[in-house]
Amino acid sequence: MVSNDKLIGDVVGVIVEKILMESGVTTHNKMTEILGDYNMTFSDCYLKPDVLNFALKEIFGSGYLSIVEKIKNELMGLDDDKKINEFIELVSEL
């Protein structure tokens, strides 16, 4: 049986990828490169929100919070609201 964190991680990964693709292929490729430097995939972002936070800041600068807001909006409605809220808080840190 797959753990709940694994499933949520996969969903988060798909959502982050989708939002980055909306910003363009170059943006997606930059994120893939940064995550690769940490031996991560998009699905790993849920368990390592600090790396996602760093990567979003690297790519979007001070505008990264608008991307976090898009991620948050896509994640609303998942069963585990407490863990999702903690994840969003960590990704939103300045």
- Residue given tokens 């694994």 in the structure block: 6
* Structure confidence at residue 3 (pLDDT): 65
Task: Grade residue 1 by pLDDT with cuts at 50, 70 and 90.
Answer: very low
> pLDDT (tens digit, 9 = 90+) per residue, 33-83?
999 999 999 999 999 999 999 999 999 999 999 999 999 998 887 766 788
Backbone φ and ψ of 76, nearest 5°: -60, 135
16, 68 contact by CB (below 8 A): no
Separation of CA 13 from chain center? 6
Q: Whose CA is closest to 72, among 54, 50, 87?
A: 87
What are the extents of the domains in the chain? Answer: 4-92
Say yes or no to pLDDT of 13 above 80: yes
